[in-house]
Structure 1
């Protein structure tokens, strides 16, 4: 009996480990919300005026992964520049919109599912809330958390206030960053923990390893000012992959070799918390066709 108990214990550990490494994604619906704001938010409560520029390259890279995997139709919501109460882009280049529109044009995403948050926050929030409400056990929603939590919190609140709280048990959040989870642009904003609590702890949450490792160019998704791990994009035969490399070139201190948030999408697709530029090269292969 002891041998049987030991075997059961070992198998249990194996199963537990397997589930800890994979979100169980099976071509289900995907929603993503990212920051990337370049227009300064000079409110007195804002810790700094602009977002980290990593999203300027990370967003096109994430969309490339989705397109290559044939999951364009499963991307049901993508909001960007999601600093709540921040101004729309009027005097600064909107790098997030450029990257999003470039991906839509190149790979045929449905433009109606993309939202530049400061342009119309209420519409963007309601769109995500509607996707949250649709979630069932057979049709869960995977939410990739690429920016502060207030935007997500407000969508969750709309679902709760509308009486659809039960649907939130079928929402699965993937995060990798304490910044994304906890950064408050205004003192009245909310954290990811508060969003989950608002759902009655129904929302399922997975925090993977932080996808930044900028001091080690062979690990994960950031190499700071060293673009050599990305040179395969620059030299690729597919002009649209060359375009991805071009989206890395706008960081004001030259630190654009960083697509760390895209690592969450790689994890969603592959169940691998330790993706990197070499693995992305294998995924992209000879390029991305519209047929994908």
Structure 2
């Protein structure tokens, strides 16, 4: 094979690589969707029966970031408790619902784009499938993968069954967690790799660094048992920021962990190395809703 052919093949391969694994998402006030994991009642068929309590605070911190930059109308889908086949629990003990409802009432989010998957699976699935299915080059959808993959797999199945598989070429998925991508709660559940196979790698994928650094409270979004780095929330003049601190405190194992909010901080701010001090500076005097 001559050198010209070798160079040509190399260029083709590189273009293919960057198409599947874009280095930048080029987000520009486009639609975005988020799906958080968790369950509001014990799932005794799984090795860890309780849901992920980090999202109790992370959902709130994510909404705070969105509201601070005034992009509430760009959040077109937010599902939570997305552990498929996990049982539903009473509303007064449903910590993710408490967080979601609080964000809606405080920061002007549209209540119709929030879904509890344990009680609204069909509606949640249809909502996200609709948003994915209408995506185009001019109107892409950015999806933040803050939970396990089975819910997303079912959504992609629905998009394909509606004959809209090509729309998935204009869906961008952002992840930071190998666990979320690969863990399954049932033997028949699916992983992110299964989703890629299902859609023929149409969904564009970017993985930022894991947003946990448990041994360094001042770095990233998980300070383990050290709440002192978040006391600025506790003492803030904005009562809604104080409420956000109580949602972090609600963590059932007593950890100060809001790691999944690092996804939205990266998407909207362009920084995958957030930390408590940066978040304090970002929130500033609080969040004003016009």
**TM superposition score normalised by structure 1:** 0.90
1:12-46 residue CA offsets vs partner (Å, 9 max, x unmatched): xxxx9xx9764211000010000122310112xx2
Q: 1:122: how far off?
A: 1.2
| Count of residues in Structure 1 that have an aligned counterpart in Structure 2 | 272
1:160-191 residue CA offsets vs partner (Å, 9 max, x unmatched): 11110000000000000011101101111110
CA distance in 2, matches of 1:182, 1:50: 18
Q: 1:277: how far off?
A: 1.3
CA distance in 1, matches of 2:37, 2:183: 12
Aligned CA RMSD, in angstroms, stands at 1.7
Residues 40 and 88 of structure 2 are in contact (CA less than 8 Å); yes or no, is this contact kept in structure 1? no
SS at match of 1:269: helix
CA distance in 2, matches of 1:263, 1:199: 27
Q: Which residue of structure 2 aligns with residue 287 of structure 1? A: 286
Q: Which residue of structure 1 aligns with residue 222 of structure 2? A: 222
CA distance in 2, matches of 1:91, 1:176: 29
Residues 48-127 of structure 1 mapped to structure 2, 5 A cutoff: 48-90=48-90, 93-127=93-127
Q: Which residue of structure 1 aligns with residue 15 of structure 2? A: none
CA distance in 2, matches of 1:240, 1:39: 27
Q: Which residue of structure 1 aligns with residue 245 of structure 2? A: 245
CA distance in 1, matches of 2:22, 2:86: 36
1:40-63 residue CA offsets vs partner (Å, 9 max, x unmatched): 0112xx231112210010000000
Q: Which residue of structure 2 aligns with residue 35 of structure 1? A: 37
Unpaired segments ≥5 residues, structure 1: 1-15
Residues 22 and 204 of structure 2 are in contact (CA less than 8 Å); yes or no, is this contact kept in structure 1? no
CA distance in 1, matches of 2:245, 2:24: 29
> Measured at CA, do residues 21 and 227 of structure 1 come closer, stay the same or move farther in structure 2, by a change above 3 Å?
farther
Residues 61 and 262 of structure 1 are in contact (CA less than 8 Å); yes or no, is this contact kept in structure 2? yes
**TM superposition score normalised by structure 2:** 0.90
Q: Which residue of structure 2 aligns with residue 134 of structure 1? A: 134
CA distance in 2, matches of 1:137, 1:20: 14
Residues 211 and 221 of structure 2 are in contact (CA less than 8 Å); yes or no, is this contact kept in structure 1? yes
